[in-house]
Amino acid sequence: MPHRIPPWLLVLFAALLATGTDEFVIAGVLPEVAESLDVTVSVAGQLVTAFAVVYALGAPTLAVVLDRLPRRLVLGGGLVVFTVANAAAALAPEYWTLMASRIVAALAAASVTSAAFATAASGAPEGRQGSYLSVVTAGMTVALFTGVPLGTLLGGLYGWRATFWLIAAVGALSALGVFATAPRIAGSPAAPLADRLSPLRSLPVARLVTVTFLCGTGGLMFYNYIGPFTTATVGGGADLRAGMLLIVGLLGLVGALFGGRVSDALGPHRTLKLVVGGHLAALILAGLFGVSGVTSAIVLGVLVALWSTFAWSLNPPMQGSVLAAAPQAGMTAMALNISGLYLGTGVGGAIGGVVVSTLGASYVPFVGAVLMLVAFSLTPRVRQHATATPTEEAGSRTPVS
């Protein structure tokens, strides 16, 4: 009999859909923003950079500050601030006001994301932690192929301010949903600041965050340059590039759910090894295709689908592994992991740009594969005769009060 998804988990899905859309959607309306606020497109592009950097740095910092508060308060309060910040963005009269609202929105989104993962992990029933984490991850994934295109379309039809009003509306509805349905999960027990900062000194956590950083750098480098890679290998126009991105989104959703289910069955450490290894193999195959001279769009689509499945399977087993490494400060540890992913994505974009300008877009998967090989070598080893169940392997959980 299939397990019923609780309403509060769907609310977390919607919250992560809103925050994920907010992060990426402005890239689709940059020309309109630049023209409206009388700045260049490159200056407007710093709105994207500021959001990503503040998000990455703010996630672990806010996790430490907010760790003792009830998870529902952090979630709901963060979504209220997120909603107000996006409403302010929609009303921004000039560039710096918009920049300030983006910074506040990034801080709110960082706190919401960390608390959402912590709530999903703590509120999951026995043996279902991976599946619950995968639903939250799916919200971020769906944002790539529904929220972002819808927001961009809305901005094109009614102006870029309408995009931020849409995000604010989803954020407000999510906040109401959190206060109405989210389980009452206590914050971490009172502890000295040194204890709350313990994940920063934990070698197992540092190792896992490094794996996440390398996966973000090497794996998502391919995502950042999938358009140039498509053009370089099979040609085609914007329609074909859009089709490849649609495959990424659809199979990314499948991958997120797949990662959760497998993590429940095998445990997060075993699943992490499987996912990173599959990700590595997919990049190698994409690289071989890039230099093979084959120009089949169908073959490319199959390879992109394979890569997407493994790339977006990472979050559930990784978050489960990080939680197991620091169960006493899970929210802080998972926030560090999120920062590693975002920083890796930014670094991957920079490295990928150098690869494209020197070797060509066809070689991006090979460079990504080298980084993924290092990530694979750093994934935790699983004892062959371990007797712990997947749930026990996932670590202890904060009790629901």
Q: Identify whether 389 is part of a domain.
A: no
- Rounded to an integer, what distance in angstroms lies between the CA atom of residue 379 and that of residue 119? 25
Q: What is the DSSP letter of 94?
A: S
In a domain, 191, yes or no: no
- The two tokens of residue 308 are 């997407």
Domain boundary among 183, 207, 240: 183
Tell me the per-residue pLDDT of 72-103, one tens digit each, with 9 for 90 and over: 899 999 999 999 999 999 999 999 999 999 99
150 and 214 both lie in a single domain:
no
CA distance 312 to 306: 10
Give a yes or no: residue 324 inside a domain: yes
User: Strands, DSSP E only, in 214-339?
Assistant: none
Write out the residue range of the structural domain in which residue 330 sits.
Answer: 198-378
Which pair of tokens denotes residue 184? 């009452």
Please, which residues have CB within 8 angstroms of residue 84's CB and are 6 or more apart in sequence?
104, 168
pLDDT of residue 387: 37
Total domains, the chain: 2
Of 165 and 153, the structure prediction assigns the larger pLDDT to 165
**DSSP string for 259-286:** HHHHHHHH-HHHHHHHHHHHHHHHHHHH
User: Are residues 232 and 84 part of one domain?
Assistant: no
Specify the pLDDT at position 234: 92
Statement to judge: residues 177 and 271 lie in one domain: no
The whole-number average pLDDT for the span 388-396 is 39
pLDDT of residue 198: 61
What value does the mean pLDDT take over residues 146-150? 71
Answer whether residue 359 is part of any domain. yes
The model's confidence at residue 194, banded by pLDDT at 50, 70 and 90, is low
Same-domain check for residues 221 and 353: yes
Note if the pTM is more than 0.75. Answer: no
Same domain, 137 and 266: no
Least confident of 272-281, 300-309, 383-392: 383-392
On whether both 134 and 283 belong to a single domain, the answer is no
- Residues 170 and 243 grouped into a single domain: no
Percent of the chain with pLDDT over 70: 88
Average pLDDT of 263-267? 86
- Phi/psi-derived region of residue 267, left when phi > 0, alpha when psi is between -120 and 50, beta in every other case: left
Q: Both 128 and 151 in a single domain?
A: yes
Whether residues 115 and 209 share a domain: the answer is no
Q: Which one has a higher pLDDT value, 358 or 65?
A: 358
pLDDT of amino acid 390? 39
**pLDDT at position 243 over 90:** no
Query: Can you give the CATH number for the domain in which 42 is found?
Result: 1.20.1250.20
| DSSP string computed for 48-80 | HHHHHHHHHHHHHHHHHHHTTS-HHHHHHHHHH
Average pLDDT, the chain: 82
Residues 177 and 215 both lie in one domain? no
Q: Looking at the structure, tell me whether residues 87 and 231 fall in a common domain.
A: no
Tell me the per-residue pLDDT of 9-60, one tens digit each, with 9 for 90 and over.
Answer: 999 999 998 888 887 777 667 778 888 999 887 788 788 778 878 888 888 8
Lowest mean pLDDT segment, chosen from 158-167, 172-181, 249-258, 284-293: 249-258
Query: Do both 11 and 121 map to the same domain?
Result: yes
